Every structure is written in structure tokens, then in C-alpha cells.
Amino acid sequence: MDMAKKKYNVAVLGATGMVGKEMMKVLEERKFPVNKFLPLASTRTAGTKVTFKGKKYTVEVAKPESFEGIDIGLFSAGAKISEMLAPEAVKRGTVVIDNTSFFRMDPNVPLVVPEVNAYDLKWHKGIIANPNCSTAQMLMAIKPIHDVAKIKRIVVSTYQSTSGWGKEAVEELFTQTKAVLAGKKAQVKILPKQIAFNVIPQIDSFTSNGYTKEEMKMVNETKKIMGDPSIQVTATTVRVPVVIGHSEAVNIETERKITAKQVREILSKFPTVKVMDDPEKGVYPTPVDCPGKDETFVGRIREDISIPNGIDMWIVSDNLRRGAATNAVIIAEKMIEEGLI
Amino acid sequence: MDMAKKKYNVAVLGATGMVGKEMMKVLEERKFPVNKFLPLASTRTAGTKVTFKGKKYTVEVAKPESFEGIDIGLFSAGAKISEMLAPEAVKRGTVVIDNTSFFRMDPNVPLVVPEVNAYDLKWHKGIIANPNCSTAQMLMAIKPIHDVAKIKRIVVSTYQSTSGWGKEAVEELFTQTKAVLAGKKAQVKILPKQIAFNVIPQIDSFTSNGYTKEEMKMVNETKKIMGDPSIQVTATTVRVPVVIGHSEAVNIETERKITAKQVREILSKFPTVKVMDDPEKGVYPTPVDCPGKDETFVGRIREDISIPNGIDMWIVSDNLRRGAATNAVIIAEKMIEEGLI
């Protein structure tokens, strides 16, 4: 980023969670201009120690007053806490970048993937929503194609890692895997069914139309972020026994014909997208390749043989990064750049 | 089945493999009228002992002469062995039901899912091909919908278990999983990339249009089995760290409108399909539910919100059974019933 001379007081709310920790890492790596650093959490995990830029901090309980003098609040402690505390933080002059689902569909809140719709940041009223992880990475590949060929419809099936449901879900994956390997029964606690050596076609709860909330996020957030409600989306979101890294099999239908070669060229030029697409040489992304990386990896790009204007592709990204921490930090950087903070 | 009084001499070629073993189990369970039983394999595994109906047998090396006096040959020892031995068996009066890909697209060979196109058995010339596992289970749900609403297009993403690639792939999954849990590097041998805590968007090798052979099987076998080349299919086939049980996220577009409720009713009446679809109560199929079962399980049935005439659904089945062993044995039963053997 273009480093501003000014430094900012930054609070990370949810500092003990997987996304919160990743936010701290990303702030460090990108040399974000942090003045005061304040790690916050709910009462459940406050008191824990965390390290930021080599310095130990005790995580404080998040309260309305915590935000006095805080310029930027990165929120990732659950929708209920965001609902309660984001307006309080805004009242105190904090710009809140919220990773939960709570404000995403609020017409007064921009929902932003910076590479896709940074222009929506300018009408913010204090809160900016970070999209759902699976939507964010998908749109990194969808946006540049849309600009050239206009996306009419998306059919997406996801292969989402357990870290998307938090660290308890990751622990459950490991505990169950060890149990199954030892010939024991897997105990189901956090996730809706056994995840070890299994896949679960349920992420979040069900809505009245038979889709899950996660699936409806992909439908609705896509329209809002792309600023085009005519883009039709259907999604099946599935949890797989992977630790970090969401994968997506994405089928698109476009208004105008676009070839696989053109898609590779367009995506190669798009910021933070990396095309890994030489399948005969074994070059395509898988989730174990992506942890700790900020790129969205795209491979298996091919012309859909079932319709005249279709493309199939395979999109993989670190869900804690592009889908959460990195996206939030890049939003903050963009806002500084454009004088919005 | 309607038990004929006659008994048949049955050879299982590939008797030491996962599908071969499952074929023996299915023959036992279904009380198939076996007279002489002959387990065969390639030189690599011949000599092994197997048990059938409580009796031990030594697996013999498969040779053209092995098929003298054999009525039914269930082949599952790889495409090359089928290519070589199926014609030899047919010459000797054996009806070959071949589980490999070798003869599937041969216009002189019926490709059959008995519940879907048993009528194709009658023009057989000695060899009947068993479809690819992921195609077979998908068509169990597609056929009854097609009959009512006419399928125009299918977009399918698969979640395929390691047993689909044989027992060495299953061993690799376990070995790698233990290594990763112990903090070691996963050694890749059989599968194209690490499978432990990962997913691999490659099954079989790549073809010139960017699809894999497995994906093209789903495209081409669907048209042949359904007897309708106008059905358009695009597929992304993905290996997941599951032992047994393939899952599929299937999106269909139909000529005529059909509701989710109608789909549930139609599928419930179709033989060996089991609808498991009460998601709010946690009722939907996952792969760990299916090993050893002959049913194709369908859940997550919902009207696609992205097009007027669309349905999304989730199909799970034991790939060694419906996709291989059970399908082959039911073909043999049907042929006996209809006097074709």
C-alpha cells in the first residue's frame, strides 16, 4: 500500500479467534500503520494473551467504551456482538470493518471486496461489511469475467474447510479423525454431522426455500457486491474435512462468448488472482497449497460443453485470508488511501 | 429377484479388488443362483484366498480358457484385461458384465443401469457394460425426473471417495492422514496430489477439451444410458478424503416445470432410490451413511432460484455397490429373468 505518514489506533474484536489472529498477522505482514493496538474479545475469552508486532497484549473485554479514540475496528466476534457493539463504536468515531454477516445486506452498509467494488466505500456511514468467505473468493474470479462478457448465471458447489466454522470445528475434525483411525465412533459436537472422512452438505442453518443461509449469502451478496441484481446464482455449500482453504466448482453462463484462453488472460491481470492452470502437468490449485497466502487461485478453466457461452473453473483460497482477514485489512488500506478514514 | 430354478456358473474377474469383493458379497446377499463359482485375477494377485458362501477358494490367473463352461463373467480387473479377455470369454459362451470403461461407449455394447434402461439388454452381443460409478448413481435420480419433466441440462460437481480409485488409494488416504496428524509430510504415491485433509479436482487423466476422462464419462454415458443425446451435461469431478460413498451436487434444468415436492414423490417411488430430505431435522444423506447399502440416497431437493425450471439436489451412494457391484449383479438377474442368459 501507499504508506500514509499517519498512524491509526486499531482494535481487533475477536482477537482470540482464527480470523482475529489472522487479522493481526495480516496487519503485521502488510506493515499497516498501527499506532495503538487493542485486542478485544467477548467475556468468554478475554484475559488471554496475544502477541502483536513482538509485543504481548492481554485481550480486553469488548465494551462500548473500548472504542473511545479507536480509528479502525476490525470485528470478527460473531453477528450478535457486531449488532451490539458496531453502532456504539461508530458513535465514538470508529470506522468498523465487520466480518460477520449482521450488516451485510443492510442497504446503509457497503459490502466490499476491494478489488471488485472499492467505489462503494465512499458512501459508508461508519460500518463496512466484509463478505462471506466463499462469496469473496468467488467474486475475485467472477468480476473480471463479468466486465468483459457479462455474467448471466452462476452454479456453484463449494468444498469448504472446517476453519470456516471456527477453531472448535477444526479441533472436532482432528478429534474425530483420530477416533475413526482408532476404530472408534466419531463424536459429533460442533458440526451438524461427522466430518472425519465425510462431507456434509450443510453450512449454517436452513431457510424456508430449502437453501442454507450460507447458500443464500452466496446468492444475495453476489448481487450486492457486483451491483447487479440480474446475476442469477444457485449454490450448494458443502463442508469437507479440510483444515484451511475453501474450494469452489463454479459454472458460469455469460451474455457474450468468452474462451478459456481469454479467461486465463483476464484473470492473470486481475490483482491478487493467480491462475494455476496447466492440468496435464498437474498444475491446478488444491486447498493444502493456499494457507497463509492472500491470492485467490484459479484453475481447471475450460469452456463448458453443455451451453454455447459457458465456463467451468475451480477456485481455491485461504478462507481466513481473502475471505476474511486480508479482505478486511485491504478495505482499511483503501479507505486510508482515499481519505475515507 | 424371481429365483429361476436353474443355477449358473459365475466367474468374478478381479476377485481380490474392492469391487470384486463387493460383487461376491452382493451375489451372496441377493442369493444369486450360483452353481460353480470361479474367482479370477491377473497374475499380480492370483493365488490369494477368498471366501464365497463360507467356502474358501484360491483365486486363479485369468486366461481365455478360464471361461470354458462359465455362464456369467463379472469383470472388474481394469480396462486392459477386459479388452483382452472379454471377447475370449464371449467366444466361449460367457455373458460378460464388464465394470471397466473399455466397452462402455462401444455402439455394439449396451451400457446399462437396470432401473433406467433394462430394455437395452435385449440387443446385447455377449458383453454388457456397467457404467461409471458417479454416472450410475446420478441417473438413478435423473431418470424418473426426465420421464416427467424432460431434462435439458445437468451441472454436476462430485465429491468422490478414494475407494473409487481402488484399495491402494484408500490405504494412501489413511497413511497420509496419520502422517499429517503426526506433523509429517504426506507422501503422494497413487493419487495425483495429497488427499489427506485436501480435495483434488482431478479424477483420471485430462482430455483435450480440459475436462478429465471421469468428467467426460459423466457427459457421454448419461446420453447413452438415457438414450437421449440432447441431454446436455457439464461435470467437475473431485476426489475427497472419504473412504466409501460418492456424493454429487446436481443442478438440473428441465423442459417442463417440476416442483421440489413432485421430485420427492417421483423419486420415492423409483426402485432402490431413497429420499432422505427433511433438512431442518438433519435428514439428508452423507457418505458415511451409505457403505454396504444398495440404495441411492437423495436429499437437499429444492427448486433452483436462478432459473424458472430448475432443481438442485444432493445424491449419495456406495460407489462400490450401486456404482459397480450391485449394478452388475442386478444386470445379471434381469438378464436371467428375461431369458437373455
Question: What is the average per-residue pLDDT within A204-219?
Answer: 98
Residue B288: closest CA among chain A residues belongs to which residue? A198
Q: Is B307 on the interface with A (CB under 8 A)?
A: yes
* pLDDT exceeds 70 at position A279: yes
| Number of cross-chain residue pairs from A and B with Cβ atoms under 8 Å apart | 168
d(CA A315, CA A297): 6
Residue B331 and residue B121 in contact, taking contact as beta carbons nearer than 8 Å: yes
Per-residue pLDDT, A275: 98
Name beta bridge partners: A8. A34
Per-residue pLDDT, A302: 98
Q: Domain B135-319 is of which CATH architecture?
A: 2-Layer Sandwich (3.30)
* pLDDT exceeds 90 at position B168: yes
Active centre residues of A (catalytic) = 133, 246
Other C-beta atoms closer than 10 Å to the C-beta of A223 total 15
Active centre residues of B (catalytic) = 133, 246
* pLDDT exceeds 70 at position A2: no
* pLDDT exceeds 70 at position B164: yes
Q: Please, is B292 exposed, middle or buried when counting C-beta atoms within 10 Å of its C-beta (0-12, 13-18, 19+)?
A: exposed
Tens of pLDDT, residue by residue over B248-267, are 999 999 999 999 999 999 99
Other C-beta atoms closer than 10 Å to the C-beta of B214 total 25
Hey, are the CB atoms on B284 and A201 less than 8 Å from each other? yes
Average pLDDT over chain B, rounded to an integer: 97
ipTM score: 0.96
Tens of pLDDT, residue by residue over A171-209, are 999 999 999 999 999 999 999 999 999 999 999 999 999
Which cell numbers hold the place of A324?
476474511
* Of the options 3.40.50.620, 3.10.20.90, 3.40.50.970, 3.40.50.720, the CATH number for the domain spanning A8-131+324-337: 3.40.50.720
Tens of pLDDT, residue by residue over A43-68, are 999 999 999 999 999 999 999 999 99
Q: Is A101 on the interface with B (CB under 8 A)?
A: no
Hey, are the CB atoms on B233 and A306 less than 8 Å from each other? yes
Tens of pLDDT, residue by residue over B69-106, are 999 999 999 999 999 999 999 999 999 999 999 999 99
Closest CB from B192, B287, B310 relative to A199: B287
Query: A279 to each of A142, B25, B188, how far by Cα in Å?
Result: 21, 38, 17
Name beta bridge partners: A233. A154
In this prediction, residue B109 has a pLDDT band, given cuts at 50, 70 and 90, of very high
Looking at chain B, the whole-number percentage of residues with pLDDT higher than 70 is 99
- Is the fold of B8-131+324-337 the same as that of B135-319? no
Residue B238: closest CA among chain A residues belongs to which residue? A249
Chain A interface mutation, best of B306, B314, B315, highest count of A Cβ atoms under 10 Å: B306
From chain A, pick out residues whose CB is under 8 angstroms from the CB of B306: 153-155, 219, 232-234
Per-residue pLDDT, A311: 98
* pLDDT exceeds 80 at position A4: no
Q: Which chain B residues in 265-284 lie under 8 Å from chain A, judged by CB atoms? A: 279-280, 282, 284
Chain B interface mutation, best of A134, A154, A155, A275, highest count of B Cβ atoms under 10 Å: A155
Average pLDDT over chain A, rounded to an integer: 97
Closest CB from B181, B197, B302 relative to A288: B197
Hey, are the CB atoms on A155 and B243 less than 8 Å from each other? no
Closest approach of A30 to chain B, Cα-based (Å): 28
Question: What is the average per-residue pLDDT within B302-331?
Answer: 97
* pLDDT exceeds 90 at position B30: yes
Hey, are the CB atoms on B197 and A303 less than 8 Å from each other? no
Tens of pLDDT, residue by residue over A29-45, are 999 999 999 999 999 99
Q: Is A36 on the interface with B (CB under 8 A)?
A: no
Q: Please, is A2 exposed, middle or buried when counting C-beta atoms within 10 Å of its C-beta (0-12, 13-18, 19+)?
A: exposed
Q: Which chain A residues in 243-262 lie under 8 Å from chain B, judged by CB atoms? A: 243, 247, 249, 251, 260
Q: Is B123 on the interface with A (CB under 8 A)?
A: no
* pLDDT exceeds 90 at position A5: no
In this prediction, residue B5 has a pLDDT band, given cuts at 50, 70 and 90, of confident
From chain B, pick out residues whose CB is under 8 angstroms from the CB of A306: 153-155, 219, 232-234
* Of the options 3.30.420.40, 3.20.20.70, 3.40.50.620, 3.30.360.10, the CATH number for the domain spanning A135-318: 3.30.360.10
From chain B, pick out residues whose CB is under 8 angstroms from the CB of A314: 201, 236
d(CA A104, CA A236): 20
d(CA A86, CA A158): 30
Q: Is B188 on the interface with A (CB under 8 A)?
A: no
d(CA A33, CA A332): 10
Residue A167 and residue A17 in contact, taking contact as beta carbons nearer than 8 Å: yes
* pLDDT exceeds 80 at position B149: yes
* pLDDT exceeds 60 at position B127: yes
Q: Residue ranges of the alpha helices (H) in chain B? A: 18-29, 79-91, 114-117, 133-149, 167-181, 213-226, 260-269, 326-337
Per-residue pLDDT, B3: 52
Closest approach of A338 to chain B, Cα-based (Å): 36
Question: What is the average per-residue pLDDT within A292-319?
Answer: 98
Hey, are the CB atoms on A249 and B306 less than 8 Å from each other? no
From chain A, pick out residues whose CB is under 8 angstroms from the CB of B236: 157, 249, 251, 300, 312, 314
Which cell numbers hold the place of A260?
478459456
- Which among B181, B88, B60, B338 has a CA at the least distance from the CA of A170? B181
Closest approach of B218 to chain A, Cα-based (Å): 12
Per-residue pLDDT, B88: 98
* pLDDT exceeds 90 at position A170: yes
Per-domain boundaries in chain A: 8-131+324-337, 135-318
